[in-house]
Amino acid sequence: MTRPLALVTGASAGIGHAFAHGLAQRGYDLVVVARDTARLDALAKELQATHATNVEVITADLLQIVQVETVEARLADGDRPIELLVNNAGFGTIGKFKDLPLDREVQEIELNVIALTRLMHAALPNLLERRAGGVINVSSMASFQPTPGNATYGATKAFVTSLSQGVHEELRGTGVTVMALCPGFTRTEFQQRAGVDSTDIPDFLWQEATTVVDYAMKAFSKGKALCVPGPLNQATAGFSSVMPSTVTRRVAGLIVGRGDK
């Protein structure tokens, strides 16, 4: 029997890397996408050795439209269709919007919003034809309130959470699930790439990427529209949903801008 096939963007590190491992363990074959070919090749070799997973490597910079189109074409290919798209590649920028270089803010929107939207759109026809599988869009706890100190990042993730839930509802009854995954602080390369010193964030706020993936896969298998991993994140998301944004945006600003006196 052929194994189900998942495509994971941003599989070379962090949450995407953990998704690749978690999906291989669950019997998926994989298409892994990121810019760093050496890391993707090493991942493919490891998964082939540990789980006999067939892994296809696509090196793509999802900030380059031509390379996004290559991944779109793979998703639209009906010969060996993708059953699960994990739209995970993303990055954040930290600082006051007025001080941040505009080009990088625009790239953040291009990767976190535009590429993600294009890839989900490309994946849906095959999924709908087979009436199975779906898309996990990796959003963030930052999506639940404005996030002064990383305002663009929070706005991109608010888009992802909203789009995912809207499309989830549109697809009700089709057999296809779209889910937003909203992790909180997760131990990956994310903070380092954003140039943030996260040493003062208390240990209890952090999750491992594998924990996030376990929550995600459980929620996805139940057909959920939204996955907020863990009780602490769920309580925080609940707080944001009942409090006015005059309060939540100040709290978020205090957390993000903690070194910014």
Ligand X SMILES: NC(=O)c1ccc[n+]([C@@H]2O[C@H](COP(=O)([O-])OP(=O)(O)OC[C@H]3O[C@@H](n4cnc5c(N)ncnc54)[C@H](OP(=O)(O)O)[C@@H]3O)[C@@H](O)[C@H]2O)c1
Q: Please tell me which residue in 19, 28, 153, 220 is annotated as part of the active site.
A: 153
Q: For ligand X, what does the binding mask look like between residues 188 and 217, x meaning CB under 6 A?
A: xxx--x------------------------
Q: How far is the CB of 104 from ligand X (least distance, A)?
A: 12
Helices and strands (DSSP H and E) totals, the chain? 10, 9
- Judged by CB under 6 A, the stretch of 56-64, 69-77, 126-134, 239-247 that binds ligand X is 56-64
Q: How far is the CB of 60 from ligand X (least distance, A)?
A: 6
Lookup: tokens for 225:
């529209």
Q: How far is the CB of 81 from ligand X (least distance, A)?
A: 22
Figure out which of the listed residues 58, 70, 91, 224 binds ligand X, where binding follows CB under 6 A: 91
By CB under 6 A, is residue 154 in contact with ligand X?
Answer: no
Give the residue carrying structure tokens 């998964």.
Answer: 47
Q: For ligand X, what does the binding mask look like between residues 157 and 186, x meaning CB under 6 A?
A: --------------------------x-xx
Length, in residues, of the chain? 261
Active site residue 153: yes
By CB under 6 A, is residue 89 in contact with ligand X?
Answer: yes
* Residue 56 one-letter amino acid: E
Q: Is the CB of 52 or the CB of 65 nearer to ligand X?
A: 65
Neighbouring CB atoms inside 10 A of 241's CB total 10
By CB under 6 A, is residue 36 in contact with ligand X?
Answer: yes
Q: Is the CB of 117 or the CB of 132 nearer to ligand X?
A: 117
Neighbouring CB atoms inside 10 A of 212's CB total 27
Are the C-beta atoms of residues 178 and 135 closer than 8 Å to each other? Answer: yes
Are the C-beta atoms of residues 150 and 165 closer than 8 Å to each other? Answer: no
Number of residues that bind ligand X (CB under 6 A): 31
Pick the closest to residue 140 from 118, 124, 164 (CA basis).
Answer: 164
Are the C-beta atoms of residues 239 and 255 closer than 8 Å to each other? Answer: no
Q: Provide the sign of the torsion angle of the four alpha carbons 119, 18, 1, 221, taken in this order.
A: negative
Q: How far is the CB of 19 from ligand X (least distance, A)?
A: 9
Lookup: tokens for 253:
């600003």
How many whole angstroms separate alpha carbon 146 and alpha carbon 151? 7
Q: Is the CB of 140 or the CB of 147 nearer to ligand X?
A: 140
Query: Hey, is 243 helix, strand or coil?
Result: coil
Q: Is the CB of 128 or the CB of 255 nearer to ligand X?
A: 255
* Residue 40 one-letter amino acid: L
Q: How far is the CB of 137 from ligand X (least distance, A)?
A: 9
Please give the backbone phi and psi of residue 57, each rounded to the nearest 5 degrees, phi first: -100, 125
- Closest residue to ligand X in the complex (CB): 14
Q: Which residues are catalytic?
A: 153
What is the contact surface with ligand X in residues (CB under 6 A)?
A: 9-16, 34-36, 39, 60-63, 88-92, 111, 138, 140, 183, 185-186, 188-190, 193
